[in-house]
Amino acid sequence: MFKYDLNLEFGSNILKWFKTNKRNLPFRKDKDPYKVWLSEIILQQTQMDTGIKYYKKFIKKFPNVKTLSKANEEVIYSMWKGLGYYNRAKNLHKTATIITEDFKGVFPTQYDDLLMLPGVGKYTASAISSICFDKRRFVIDANVFRVISRYLGVKKNINKAGSYNHFEEMSKKLSKNIKDVGLYNEALMDFGSLVCKPKKPNCKICNNKKTCYSFINNTQEIYPIKEKPKKRKKRYFNYFAIENKGKYLIQKRTKKDIWNNLYEFFLIEDKNSSEAINLFKQNTGLDINNLKSENIVKKLSQLSHQSISVNFYKIFIRRNKDFYSIKKNLSLEEIEKREIEKVGFPKVIDNYLKYNS
């Protein structure tokens, strides 16, 4: 079994590389905990280039935690459009409110206090406390998992319980001689993103390659060790886009499920689209058995744990009386087409509206 080589030059070498190769990111210009926190929440499950665009948009609209706390939740959802995982947006507002009201607008400096904030886990709390408050807390993300597992030849499955703490301890030991842990964390993440990449790592320019287990043994492609992803749950959504003279009927998702607190069209979840249409007819009294093919739009929404086949049915209601009868019977809300951009929808509905409204 490979014995971990806890070479203390590892951290120093990473910092040397970082000094001349670090990314010029807008939230690194100062050590403002609000900016670091906002960037970390936005960048979860998000590519860097996309995340920066959203970060700049949010900072312009909400330059500090107080302005964010006072924002209408629907405005935040609207600005979050396209990022997905809307619970992050909900927790963003919750945390801003807590910091404004309970901490008088000042971010807590202690790691344990940061962990108490909605949507803040070990990773985000470690980033804020190390970068902004000089605490010796070690950030573990996908980049760090990859760099350390390759360097040390760690056989531990990173998806299993306890792996975060294990890698946190490894990172801590590899950086015993590092004073600025916040800088080390940033360097390690950048190194993983730019050099020790998931595919085709640029080992030639790595100044730790002489002591790297994976480079020596040519095993870069197998690290980090991961279990095979579980099969996605399949679901079948039938959305009825009910329209009348520039207005749509929509509803808010309030159940504990995906896309919580976002808006959608009237939904019938059924694998059999014919059954869904019949059920819609029963609920509304409308005869839509002869829907033309151009009135049906098919989409696929791939989430991390679910695969959703979506049918959109475009239903045009001519008479105002029928439109408002459906609205009442199905407990729906009406919205003007011109107001659509202000409402938070799941991405699959946003895409539908973009090309079919």
Amino acid at 324: Y
Neighbours of 299 (CB within 10 A): 16
Asked whether 176 and 237 are in contact (CB, 8 A), the reply is no
Who contacts 252 (Cβ-Cβ below 8 Å, separation ≥6)? 261, 262, 263, 264, 333
Distance CA 21, CA 336 (A): 49
CB neighbours of 244 closer than 8 A, spacing ≥ 6? Answer: 316, 317, 318, 320, 323
CA distance 211 to 197: 18
Q: What region, left, alpha or beta, does residue 162 occupy, with left being phi > 0 and alpha being psi -120 to 50 degrees?
A: left
Using an 8 Å Cβ cutoff, are 249 and 330 in contact? yes
3-state secondary structure of 125: helix
Active site residue 40: yes
Please name the helix (run of DSSP H) or strand (run of DSSP E) that holds residue 237, with its range, or none.
Answer: strand 233-244
From the list 190, 186, 201, 192, the residue with the least C-alpha distance to 158 is 192
Distance of CA 306 to the CA centre of its chain: 15
Q: Give the Cα separation of 43 and 16 in Å (integer).
A: 25
Q: Is 69 within 8 Å of 99 (Cβ atoms)?
A: yes
40, 221, 269, 339: the active-site residue: 40
* Residues in the chain, overall count: 357
HSE-up (13 A, CA, CB side) for residue 171: 29
Q: For residue 355, how far is the Cα from the chain centroid? A: 25
Backbone torsion region of residue 261, taken as left when φ is above 0, otherwise alpha when ψ lies between -120 and 50, otherwise beta: left
User: Which residues are known catalytic residues?
Assistant: 40
